[in-house]
Structure 1
Amino acid sequence: MNRLYDIFNFSQEFPLIFTQANFWIFFAVIYLVYAFIYPNKSLRSLYLFLISLVFYYKTSGLFVGILLFSTVNDFFLGKAIYNSTSKLTRKTLVAVSVTVNLATLCYFKYAYFFTDSYNALFESDHKVINHLAQWANTWSEVDYFTVDSIILPVGISFYTFQTISYSVDIYRKQIKPLRSMIDFGFFVSFFPQLVAGPIVRAADFVPQIRKEIRISKVDFGRATFMILKGLIKKMIFADYIAANFLDRVFDMPEMFSGFTNIMAMFGYSLQIYGDFSGYTDIAIGLALLMGYRLPKNFNSPYKAIHCGDFWKRWHISLSSWLKDYLYIPIGGNRNGTIFSYTFILLFTFLGVLAVSNYAIALLAATVIVIALLVTLFSKKVAKHFNTNVNIMITMLVGGLWHGAAWKFVIWGGLNGLGIVFYKYWRNISPYENSRLWIITGWKIALTFVFITFTRIYFRGNSMDHIDRFYQQIVTNMNMSNAWNVLYEYRLVFIVMAVGYLTHWLPNLLKTKIEHSFIRSHVIIKGAIAVIVAVVCYQTYAADFQPFIYFQF
């Protein structure tokens, strides 16, 4: 009983994580109850909504209040948008929904980013104050909350985008609002994907809320397969190589050779894929066990043949969200908007200023203004400029979504440049339409290397840390010691090799393996599950590593 109390009681040191035994005890208990109540649609929604709130409370404590605020706010705004007959009122209401959601996200996620940027720009020394905590302490007359720091609620970026899509889809008349706040709360907070995605759109999930639940043997087999696959990705291909190699190198890159740093970068590409893809595989499997289908979030991203192809395969739910709710509304590949021009001008100026000086920032802004003037006299130039600007805006926002620091903006910008470069390269490349395996392999390798080396801006702790990392590569490769490095960390590199080989297996073979598991006898499934569990828990480090995307 004490174990169950610890599992369901909030503890900042021990949140519920898919790789912990406590989570699977938690899930077993709630799934047992779910098995008796799932035919009753209203009771099912209420039960899963409350369980999801408990899960989020276990993960984020009192930040569950922010989740509830977002739920109540968008539930009533959605109804108001749908019932309004005035186009102006509908636009105003959807603007309120988007503004409130983004303002909440910005307050918790970007307060330090904006404050630090302002201080750097005007050479001031403003401090971040948690005004909500200050207000709560004043109201309660007790200093419960710390006012000199703002803590990021886990998963706020994910459920904020979900609630925004709900309001916008109602405005676009693509869906009708839910009648029950419980049903809407269930949609927003469904615990398998709540804290790290995939981002679920209302149009895809809402129709499932009131449907009849039937879990077939095929569904059960596929769900089990997804969960086991996710555990292998997370605990072996991500956590094992991180604990035994990557964290050591990234903590002090100057203590290792440039060759070792490069190998760490290739290892990090596998780690972040195994970590994030592993989480979503488990989330999809858990949801399927309860009769719900979540969208696919990864499609062998390291098989991509160019940067644009990569972003159609990586974090698909975010990429498609940014396309439909940002890229297309600001003009897409058709035209530019005042928002496009203002955003890119301001962002370029501030970005260059943040890493350089006023002169370079002014020069960059001047170049963009001149380009804008040229577009007034040439429709052909205007089309190219507008399309590329909109691509860059989408990728810059995508970078900023991942983290409140300029290094994430640079990372997003580099990926945007990769997409734009390929747009023009494919028009002159003599190998663009070639189907020779060696050409395809070269494209995959080139794309993979590019994506890997942009990720130092994702993984690096600071710009200084990133500079030290690259300095070792440029000045201290020390290839004479490469064999010693490979031998010293041979188990890590074997795991990396297996991870990449399984990733690059043909899709047809992967599908056959999955179908074989689904068709296998339940005893075989059980035996495989036991083997996977034993292997995974034999490899994990003393401290569980949280999922990387929890910070977003």
Structure 2
Amino acid sequence: MISIDWNKVLHQLEYDKNNPLLFNNGFFVYFLVVFMVFYYLFRKNYKHRAVVLSLFSLYFFYKASGTFVWIVIVSAFFNYGISNLIYKAKTKGWKAFHLFWSIIFNLVLLFYFKYTDFFIQVLNNVSQFKIDPLHILLPIGISFFTFENLSYTIDIYRGEIKPEKGIVNYVLFLSFFPKLVMGPIVRAKDFIPQLKQDYFVSSHDFSKGFYLIITGLIKKLIISDYISVNLVNYVFDGPHLHNGLECLVALYGYAIVIYCDFSGYSDVAIGISKWMGITIPPNFMSPYQSKSVSEFWRRWHISLSSWLRDYLYIAMGGNRKGTFRTNVNLFLTMLIGGFWHGASWNFIIWGALHGIGLGVNKFWNALFGKMKVFPKWISNTFYGLITFHFVCFCWIFFKASSFETALQFLHQIGYQFTFDGGVEFVENYKIVLVMIAIGYAIHLIPDSVPEKIIEKQKNFPLIYFVVLLLSFIALYSFFKSAEPVMPIYLQF
């Protein structure tokens, strides 16, 4: 007779700060299976589906972040209530008044958890007063659902949507577990209407969801994690211990690490959503194929860049007030975008560099945009390499733990570059180098190829998907690191 230790079962169901629930957590497999069973049982009634999905989403957030789940709930109820006040207000002034308090509430919540210790440190550095840091823990995903709350109330203020009547749908919009922790940032006007549609998952949807989940996990759990653990992390932790060649390879490695990490997680979120009959737009479109900084931001973290464009850049005047003001608006937008990523001067520098890059990009296009001196493929290759290396240069400040570490990293590349020991380096890191090459090869696959695979495999029998899944598990078990590697964007 099999005996069940219910204490252990209950312990597994509780939040564990040392083992938060994420897509790379073994418990997630059980969570997803149980959820899909319940979701399918209630598939015919969208209200029942919404309740089931909301409860599972809130539980997911509890397992990922503990009691911080109450922040999502309180935030949802507040923004749900104030959005109705904005909509019902009779005058523009009252609408603006309610919107003002919506913005204040959301930003104060974000600033308290994310930036309080940063500003305490700044104050300590510039004044004689010394305040002890509060060491406030950052709720997972707060940056993402804050932007979703703001887009919702702003869209209602602009008259683009009407407020949602059911609180459950709004809670679900905010807490939807595939995207809650690390995005993509979705908008209510795109998401909520899908909740009310009849549940339908075509063979193409299932095939695409499976493809995105498997390839996303490969990018995150195998390629990104392996390169991080075996090269990138310890080179960036002590760049002075490595020569310029090793630092440069680690930089190229980090470029593919952050792409595979974040795009992989986004792909899994989009793939799981597909299985629920919900479509979330792609968040990455081969960004390192970009031939300009502007194009890079149309391909990288699309949900964030489009949010910054629609609710910040355009609100500041966009390109409607002359060239100088346009460049100022671009710079400020990217500066704020950098600060959104984290309470660190390095993120601010990273954002400022991209703001300058966008300005230079516009200036260059104005002067030489219509000139065609070289064949198109030569120009595209040249601009592509320039853009890629500019982005990599900026990644140094994004990854480095401090400004001094970033400068040391640059010093090693600029003044300590040598091929001495290059043969030994290749021999010692040959698997890492192969992983980096595979990462870039995946990135360079034309968009038409995945669609052809998705279209073909939709007609394959179930055994095909089972074998593919088991093959991935075997591959993952071979490359799995001793300690789980937390997703990079988890800190934002």
Distance 1:387 1:225 in 2: 41
Equivalent position of 1:291 in the other structure: 277
Query: How many residues are paired up?
Result: 486
How much does 1:155 deviate? 0.3
Matching of residue 492 in structure 1 with residue 432 in structure 2: yes
Equivalent position of 2:478 in the other structure: 538
Distance 1:515 1:454 in 2: 38
For the residue of structure 2 that corresponds to 1:115, the secondary structure is: helix
Gaps of 5+ in 1: 129-147, 336-382
Gaps of 5+ in 2: none
Distance 2:136 2:142 in 1: 13
Q: Quick one: percent identity of the two aligned structures?
A: 38
Match of 2:365 among 426, 430, 444: 426
Equivalent position of 1:456 in the other structure: 396
Match of 1:200 among 183, 186, 202: 186
Equivalent position of 1:220 in the other structure: 206
How has the CA–CA distance of structure 1 residues 436 and 210 changed in structure 2, closer, same or farther, with 3 Å as cutoff?
A: same
Equivalent position of 2:455 in the other structure: 515
Equivalent position of 1:524 in the other structure: 464
How has the CA–CA distance of structure 1 residues 163 and 435 changed in structure 2, closer, same or farther, with 3 Å as cutoff?
A: farther
Deviation digits for residues 250-297 of structure 1 (CA, Å, limit 9, x no counterpart):
121111111100110000010000000000000001111111111210
Matching of residue 107 in structure 1 with residue 112 in structure 2: yes
Equivalent position of 2:17 in the other structure: 12
Equivalent position of 1:63 in the other structure: 68
Equivalent position of 1:303 in the other structure: 289
Written as runs of structure 1 = structure 2, the 5 A alignment for 1:153-552 is: 153-335=139-321, 383-429=322-368, 436-552=376-492
Distance 2:346 2:371 in 1: 32
Match of 2:472, as an amino acid?
V
Distance 1:91 1:324 in 2: 18
How has the CA–CA distance of structure 1 residues 439 and 519 changed in structure 2, closer, same or farther, with 3 Å as cutoff?
A: farther
How much does 1:458 deviate? 0.6
Match of 2:440, as an amino acid?
Y
**TM-score, length of structure 1 as denominator length:** 0.86
Distance 1:202 1:520 in 2: 35
How much does 1:477 deviate? 1.2
Distance 1:449 1:515 in 2: 35
Match of 1:170, as an amino acid?
I
Distance 1:149 1:440 in 2: 47
How much does 1:532 deviate? 1.8
Matching of residue 126 in structure 1 with residue 131 in structure 2: yes
Match of 2:49 among 44, 53, 68: 44
How much does 1:511 deviate? 2.6
**TM-score, length of structure 2 as denominator length:** 0.96
Equivalent position of 1:366 in the other structure: none
For the residue of structure 2 that corresponds to 1:480, the secondary structure is: coil
Query: Does the 8 A contact of 1:234 with 1:275 survive in 2?
Result: yes
Query: Does the 8 A contact of 1:230 with 1:277 survive in 2?
Result: yes
Equivalent position of 1:26 in the other structure: 31
Deviation digits for residues 56-80 of structure 1 (CA, Å, limit 9, x no counterpart):
1111111111111111100000111
Task: Identify which range, 501-510 or 243-252, moves more after superposition.
Answer: 501-510
How much does 1:536 deviate? 2.1
How much does 1:5 deviate? 3.4
Distance 2:448 2:381 in 1: 18
Deviation digits for residues 143-165 of structure 1 (CA, Å, limit 9, x no counterpart):
xxxxx421111100000000111
Query: Does the 8 A contact of 1:225 with 1:518 survive in 2?
Result: no
Equivalent position of 1:348 in the other structure: none
How much does 1:4 deviate? 5.0
Query: Does the 8 A contact of 2:38 with 2:52 survive in 1?
Result: no
Distance 2:455 2:380 in 1: 28
Distance 1:487 1:36 in 2: 54
How has the CA–CA distance of structure 1 residues 512 and 123 changed in structure 2, closer, same or farther, with 3 Å as cutoff?
A: farther
How has the CA–CA distance of structure 1 residues 430 and 160 changed in structure 2, closer, same or farther, with 3 Å as cutoff?
A: closer
Deviation digits for residues 3-57 of structure 1 (CA, Å, limit 9, x no counterpart):
7534421111111111122111111111111110121221111111111111111
How has the CA–CA distance of structure 1 residues 516 and 443 changed in structure 2, closer, same or farther, with 3 Å as cutoff?
A: farther
Deviation digits for residues 321-376 of structure 1 (CA, Å, limit 9, x no counterpart):
000000001100012xxxxxxxxxxxxxxxxxxxxxxxxxxxxxxxxxxxxxxxxx
How has the CA–CA distance of structure 1 residues 458 and 123 changed in structure 2, closer, same or farther, with 3 Å as cutoff?
A: farther
Query: Does the 8 A contact of 1:8 with 1:26 survive in 2?
Result: no
CA RMSD of the aligned region, Å?
1.5
Task: Identify which range, 516-525 or 446-455, moves more after superposition.
Answer: 516-525
Distance 2:211 2:371 in 1: 37
Task: Identify which range, 423-432 or 49-58, moves more after superposition.
Answer: 423-432
Match of 1:88, as an amino acid?
G
Deviation digits for residues 457-512 of structure 1 (CA, Å, limit 9, x no counterpart):
11001112112212222221122222321221011001111110121122223332
